[in-house]
Amino acid sequence: MHAVDSKKAKPFLPFARPTIDETMVSAVADTLRSLWITSGPQVLAFEKALSEYHGGRPVRVFTSATAALEVALLVAGIGPGDEVIMPAQTFFSCANAIAHTGARPVFVDVDPITRNMDLAATEAAINPRTRALMPTHFAGLPMDMDALYELAGDTDLRVIEDAALAIGSQWQGRRIGSFGDIASFSFHPNKNMTTIEGGALVFADEAEAQLAERFRFHGIARNPDGTRDVTVLGGKYNLPDVNARLGLLQLARLDEFTARRQKLAARYFEQLQTDPPCTLPARGDAGHSWNFFAPLLPLDQLTLTRKQVMDALQAEGIGTGISYEAVHLTTQYRKLGYREGDFPHAEHIACTTLTLPLYPALEEADVDRVCQTLRAVLHAAKR
């Protein structure tokens, strides 16, 4: 189906794209020329810069946010027999990280507007085996941090924030990661800043940061005489200097990237009016960093499936994604006994969500084009 006639080819708009300029390319090339390309001075500088950005808290960086989540769980002492509560509407890595420790992910539903973890459902799911909460700041919209930490404090639980989408986000004027327990960030190319691949943990406690450092590199600790010991069962998750050098320059522009994303999201709210109407995401406030913009399609009023809508947009040069499928309905987590109907809000979002293009290099005219094309596709498919 071609709902929009194209008289000439238009540039393809992916749903996400990193911003990498020639200064960044040259800096990475210089790092390669230095021949110190694995973890070294650039990693230390990147961790220092991230720490300063988050109010001086200790930071350690990793090969991915998934690795960071796994290490955070190990630092918090999570293991076999424990349970960690998380939202059913998020990326698969959160559940996988929990399961890899031998603990059990316990899913709860999400708020239908914010798409963040429902704290009333979370409180109801807490039992004697619960050791931690792992909320996701969905699309960069912060959780209600006051309510989250009040619940955690009342129940003596650790909090490991999945802030993969939320670097640069703020709660009541305070940056996510600058307060609270442990926050995990992602630097994948689809995120608000990138190190190609990579992630970070921000800690409240220096001793836990040092423990994380051992977990990320074989469990090694240095003895006073310069020999090495293995004190914990560690892995190999250290970030190379090449990635860290890019991260330093990305971080320097993060606030600029965030402001641009906020402006483009505002444009979507102005222009995305369809018949039948889509359900738009929660606006949030000035603290929302807008990693992505994902309306819900009115599929019950259309003759098209979501895949057919995505194909129609692709044919017009507009890339889209799905953020996200319901984790509890994957083959892996159905093994824990989860079924359709367990979490209606998460399942509705999973079935109808559509991620639209949003990245700093996008122009306002590009947003208008996306909105106009989607409007035409949905109107032509109206029942």
Whether the upstream peptide bond of residue 276 has omega within 30° of 0, thus cis, is yes
Q: Using an 8 Å Cβ cutoff, are 354 and 274 in contact?
A: no
DSSP assignment string, 321-381 = B-S--BGGGSHHHHTTT--TTSSHHHHHHHHHB-BBP--TT--HHHHHHHHHHHHHHHHHT
Q: Using an 8 Å Cβ cutoff, are 278 and 301 in contact?
A: no
Q: Using an 8 Å Cβ cutoff, are 171 and 116 in contact?
A: no
335 has catalytic annotation: no
Q: Which two tokens stand for residue 109?
A: 């539903």
Q: Is the dihedral of CA 133, 284, 298, 263 positive or negative?
A: negative
Closest CA to 131 of 78, 69, 201: 78
**Which residues 6+ apart lie within 8 Å of 359 measured at CB?**
14, 16, 17, 18, 19, 261
Outline where DSSP puts E strands in 198-329: 199-202, 220-222, 228-230
**Which residues 6+ apart lie within 8 Å of 32 measured at CB?**
242
CB atoms within 10 A of CB 232: 14
Catalytic residue among 8, 191, 236, 335: 191
Q: What angle do CA 282, 288, 293 make, to 5 degrees?
A: 55
Cα–Cα distance measured from residue 112 to residue 44, given in angstroms and rounded to the nearest whole number: 41
Cα–Cα distance measured from residue 157 to residue 151, given in angstroms and rounded to the nearest whole number: 8
Cα–Cα distance measured from residue 292 to residue 286, given in angstroms and rounded to the nearest whole number: 15
| Active-site residue set | 191
